[in-house]
């Protein structure tokens, strides 16, 4: 294969290797072996792996209820159907599915509005699928969206405070078909896009003695 004149040789491969799980583990081991270099290594990790992105966490609803009624294989089929429907929605909104674990999807976008658009499209397509599925096999999902600095490990795993809050919103707080945003995600919308036709309702919940403020998207 011939490269175009001026193309950076191996830049994409080099970047992927630099952000790899193996490189992260090497740096963490270095912190353990050389405590005096901790601050230096922390700076290297943050510089290498940090990205400012919108994080979308999708959680399917009804795992326990469906598994007890229909069995685990039936719910695995529902998970597979959900992924087939939802992955294209993420990609069409310029996002990427970083990982799929059990009945969750973890996705990254450059902008919160893209993540929000993907959520709305997923809800619409899941609703359409439910029109032809038996009632006990209907597909529903809840969504949490955050925005901020995350550690992106080779586009295979993500860590960060906004990731944690988005997980809490999508997995524990949001109801089926509900989209919840962190305060940082809302701020990113207002800063870059304006609220436009996006209507948000502020909510709050107490968790472990802390008050978590978030925003519910009114459809």
Residue 136: predicted pLDDT: 85
User: Does pLDDT of 8 surpass 80?
Assistant: no
pLDDT digits (tens, 9 = 90+) for 13-65: 446 678 999 999 999 999 999 999 999 999 999 999 999 999 999 999 876 67
Backbone angles phi, psi at 74, to 5 degrees: -65, -40
Tell me which long-range contacts 118-123 makes (C-beta under 8 A, separation of at least 24). 118/56, 118/89, 118/90, 118/92, 118/93, 119/56, 119/58, 119/143, 119/145, 119/179, 119/217, 120/179, 120/219, 121/89, 121/92, 121/93, 122/58, 122/85, 122/86, 122/89, 122/90, 123/177, 123/179, 123/219
Residue 218: predicted pLDDT: 85
**Domain limits of the chain?**
11-48, 49-218
Residue 71: band (very low, low, confident or very high) from pLDDT cuts 50, 70, 90: confident
Averaged confidence pLDDT in the chain: 89
pTM: 0.88
Q: How far apart are CA 107 and CA 114, in angstroms?
A: 11
R_g (Cα) of the chain, nearest Å: 20
pLDDT digits (tens, 9 = 90+) for 127-145: 999 999 998 889 999 999 9
Residue 11: predicted pLDDT: 47
Residue 152: band (very low, low, confident or very high) from pLDDT cuts 50, 70, 90: very high
Domain 49-218: state its class: alpha beta
């Amino acid at each position: 294969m011939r490269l175009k004149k001026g193309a950076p040789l191996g830049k994409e491969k080099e970047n992927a290797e630099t952000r790899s799980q193996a490189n992260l583990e090497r740096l963490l081991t270095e912190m353990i072996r050389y405590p005096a270099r901790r601050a230096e290594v922390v700076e290297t990790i943050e510089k290498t792996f940090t990205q400012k992105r919108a994080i979308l966490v999708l959680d399917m609803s009804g795992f326990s209820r469906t598994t007890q009624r229909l069995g685990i294989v039936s719910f695995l089929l529902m998970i597979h159907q959900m992924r087939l429907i939802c992955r294209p929605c993420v990609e069409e909104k310029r996002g990427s599915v970083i990982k799929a674990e059990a009945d969750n999807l973890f996705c990254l976008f450059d902008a919160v509005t893209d993540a929000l658009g993907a959520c709305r499209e997923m809800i619409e397509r899941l609703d359409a699928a439910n029109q032809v599925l038996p009632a006990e096999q209907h597909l529903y999902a809840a969504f949490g969206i955050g925005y901020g600095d995350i550690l992106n490990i080779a586009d295979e795993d993500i860590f960060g405070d906004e990731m944690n809050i988005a997980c809490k919103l999508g997995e524990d707080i949001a109801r089926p078909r509900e989209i919840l945003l962190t305060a940082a995600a809302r701020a990113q919308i207002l800063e870059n896009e304006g609220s436009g036709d996006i209507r948000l309702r502020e909510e709050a919940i107490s968790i472990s003695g802390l008050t978590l403020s978030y925003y519910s998207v009114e459809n």
